[in-house]
């Protein structure tokens, strides 16, 4: 059974399913945590208490709703559309991220999250 997390940012709340990667496990092991959100185009990201290197499957081009861990900033990233470095409509990270999960349902709800919004991530099990 996949592990599920709840991401809450202000009035926005979504469930995400984690994959089976070492990145997902490290993030699961660090739960729960809170941070202050930042926005970069149609991406919400925030620093988390996890320190990892770039994984074997790290990449820049993501899917809408995909979660990524950015090793450079120790950040949890939620991609829901174009970013300033996108080519076409795909979400694109600034530099390689480790994909580790997927928002269930409409990831577009994160468009309502502004920089400075308090974000909490916890188990949804």
Mean pLDDT to the nearest integer, 108-112: 98
Assess contact for 17 and 68: CB atoms under 8 A.
no
| Rg of the chain over all Cα atoms, to the nearest angstrom | 13
At residue 18, the pLDDT reads 98
Assess contact for 20 and 26: CB atoms under 8 A.
no
- Give the pTM: 0.97
**Domains (range + CATH), the chain:** 4-123 (2.40.100.20)
Question: Which residues partner with 17 through β-bridges?
Answer: 4, 102
Using alpha carbons, select from 73, 72, 69, 76 the residue that is nearest to residue 33.
Answer: 76
Judge whether residue 1 has pLDDT over 90. no
Q: What is the pLDDT of residues 37-54, one digit of tens each?
A: 999 999 999 999 999 999
Mean pLDDT to the nearest integer, 75-91: 96
Ramachandran area for residue 41 (φ above 0: left; ψ -120 to 50: alpha; else beta) = left
Q: What is the pLDDT of residues 52-69, one digit of tens each?
A: 999 999 999 999 999 999
Assess contact for 79 and 68: CB atoms under 8 A.
yes
């Amino acid at each position: 059974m996949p592990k599920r997390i709840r991401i809450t940012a202000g009035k926005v709340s979504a469930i995400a399913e984690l994959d089976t990667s070492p990145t997902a496990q490290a993030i699961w092991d660090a739960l729960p945590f809170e941070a202050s959100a930042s926005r970069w185009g149609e991406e919400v990201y925030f620093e988390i208490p996890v320190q990892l290197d770039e994984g074997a499957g790290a990449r820049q081009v993501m899917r809408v709703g995909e979660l990524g861990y950015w090793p450079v900033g120790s950040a949890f990233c939620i991609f829901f559309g174009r970013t300033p470095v996108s080519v076409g409509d795909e979400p694109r990270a600034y530099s390689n991220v480790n994909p580790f999960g997927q928002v269930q349902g409409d990831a577009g709800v994160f468009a309502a999250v502004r920089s400075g919004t308090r974000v909490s991530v916890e188990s949804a099990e």
